[in-house]
Structures are given as C-alpha cells and as structure tokens.
Amino acid sequence: MTDQTKELIDKLQVKPGVKVKLKDGDARGERLFRDEPETRAETAALAEEINALQDRLYAERQRALLVILQGMDTSGKDGTVRDVFNATGSIGVFVHAFGRPSEMELAHDYLWRVHAVCPRRGTIGIFNRSHYEDVLVPKVHKLLSKSDIGKRYDQINDFERMLTENGTVVLKFMLHISRAEQAQRLQERLDDPRKRWKFNPGDLEDRKLWDEFEDAYETMLEKCSTTVAPWYVIPADRKWVRNGAIARIVKATLEEMDPQYPKPAWKPTDFSVV
C-alpha cells in the first residue's frame, strides 16, 4: 500500500467507538487529492487494477469482498458502482439494491434478505443500501424503541464479524454529501428530462428529515465501525473525489487480500492441444 493510500485511509476510516460529526464542509474533501485531471486518470487506472485483482479473486474462489454503499438520496451510490467498477468483468461482480422490504422479507428477521445475497467465494458483492437501512429508518421514523435499535447495532456487528471469519472482507462506505449539494442534485433531476425518472417525491420528505438522518448516520458510524469491518466516510460532494477515494481503498483492500491463481494438479506439459 502506498503512503498516500495509508494517509487517505487514516483520514477517512472511522475509529471504533468514536463519535463522528458529519460537517457539511467536509463533504468536499479538500486537500485529499492534488487535482481533478490527475485524480480522474488515477481512478481509471485503478479501475483496471481492480479488474485484474478481481480476476485473481475469481480464480482463487476462496474469499469474497463485500462493498456496502450507504448515503442520503442523491449521494451517488449508483454513480460509484458505474465509475469505480466499470472495468471489472461482470461475471464476478454482483450489485444488489435494497428497497423497502417486501411482505415476505418482513416475515423474517431483517438480516435474512441480506445474508441471502452476500457474495459467494470468488466474487465481489456491492450493496446499494444495506442492512444499515434497518437501523437508520427505524431511528429516524421512531419505529423501534431505543433499546431495540441498540440491539441491532450489536447484531449487525456480530453478523459482519461472522462474515469476515468466513472469508468475506467487508468494506463500508458512507457517501457524505452536504445539504446544499443534495438540493442541487434533486433540482437537476427535476430539470433534466433524462434524469427525471430518478426523481422520487418521497425524497423531499426524507430531505425534511435531514438532521434526523444525519444524527442516525452519526450513531451508526459510532456503533458499527469495527476493527474487522470499519466504516469510511467518503466526501461525496465532488464525484471525482468520491471515486478517487473509493477506488484507492478498494484496490488497496484487494491487494492486501492478495488472491492467488490456483495451481493445477497437472503440468501444462502433460497435454498437447491438437
């Protein structure tokens, strides 16, 4: 891992049990990268490297990588998938978007639907929203008692520890945008006919609860950033900063996992292709 990446991780990783204050000013990620063109080029190169490492992960079939993306509406969860994993062979990468739970899903415990779509060995799974909705939404809308939500933080930590102990590395990115940036992005969705389909009037209702969501995110970060599955707060007001930071962390993580091509039980010289 380069010193630059170590420094980036140190800045963005949430230390276990530490209370994070999500300040609007931090959503720009000033001083994280030198300049935009250089970072964009670096991200494109990193996407290629992520692809090469993913090929090794797929061939090895021993471990998996789970990338969790959380963030307010318009924070760029879809865009991150497009920009960081655009070079990655689609055979070994799965994206799962979590919407409101169905009746069937609600008939089970909240982790049931999540566990069912966790990446299998050899693959990268990306969650667009996740089980963290199950602590954020109940806290903001006061659907569960404080003590029940408290239990869920512990259950989630246990669940993620179980995943990591069974060969899944867990990376969690909270895409941090400012309230002003969200206003601009929602307005764009209204104004641009090609983006209008993304506009959901319900997003305006959630926007009214910005402070409550921010508070719920801060608690989630404090309670669920663990040594085995840490949270990263990614400045996401500028897409190139967001992409640059996530690409570096994903690449460094895969590099650290160091997946190996399996050694066949035969020698290439045992065969001849005619």
Nearer to ligand ADP, 42 or 134 (CB): 134
Q: Is 94 in the site for ligand ADP (CB under 6 A)?
A: no
Q: Report the run of H or E that residue 138 belongs to, with start and end.
A: helix 133-140
What is residue 106's DSSP assignment? H
Which amino acid makes up residue 227? T
Kindly tell me the number of DSSP H helices and DSSP E strands found in the chain. 11, 5
Q: Is 214 in the site for ligand ADP (CB under 6 A)?
A: no
Nearest to 207 by CA among 228, 224, 189, 222: 189
* Contacting range for ligand ADP; rule: CB under 6 A; set: 13-21, 25-33, 129-137, 161-169: 129-137
Report the alpha-carbon angle 80-2-257, nearest 5: 65
Q: Is 4 in the site for ligand ADP (CB under 6 A)?
A: no
Distance in Å, CB of 100 to ligand ADP, minimum: 4
Contact between 221 and 14 under an 8 Å Cβ cutoff? The reply is: yes
Residue from 49, 61, 98, 111 that binds ligand ADP (CB under 6 A)?
Answer: 98
Residue from 28, 129, 161, 207 that binds ligand ADP (CB under 6 A)?
Answer: 129
Distance in Å, CB of 80 to ligand ADP, minimum: 12
End-to-end CA distance of the chain: 44
* Contacting range for ligand ADP; rule: CB under 6 A; set: 45-53, 126-134, 157-165, 174-182: 126-134
Footprint on residues 132-151 left by ligand ADP (CB under 6 A): 133-134, 137
Nearest to 2 by CA among 258, 246, 256: 256
Nearer to ligand ADP, 112 or 261 (CB): 112
Nearer to ligand ADP, 60 or 78 (CB): 78
Q: Is 100 in the site for ligand ADP (CB under 6 A)?
A: yes
**Rg, C-alpha atoms of the chain:** 20
Cα–Cα distance, 89 to 248 (Å, whole number): 18
Instruction: Give the 3-state secondary structure of 48-68.
Output: HHHHHHHHHHHHHCCCEEEEE
Tell me the number of residues near ligand ADP by CB under 6 A.
10
Residue from 47, 67, 68, 73 that binds ligand ADP (CB under 6 A)?
Answer: 73
* Contacting range for ligand ADP; rule: CB under 6 A; set: 1-9, 127-135, 224-232, 259-267: 127-135
Q: Is 99 in the site for ligand ADP (CB under 6 A)?
A: yes
Nearer to ligand ADP, 57 or 84 (CB): 84
Cα–Cα distance, 170 to 228 (Å, whole number): 8
Q: Could you tell me the sign of the dihedral formed by the alpha carbons of 236, 237, 238, 239, in that order?
A: positive
The contact set with ligand ADP (CB under 6 A) reads 73, 98-101, 129, 133-134, 137, 200
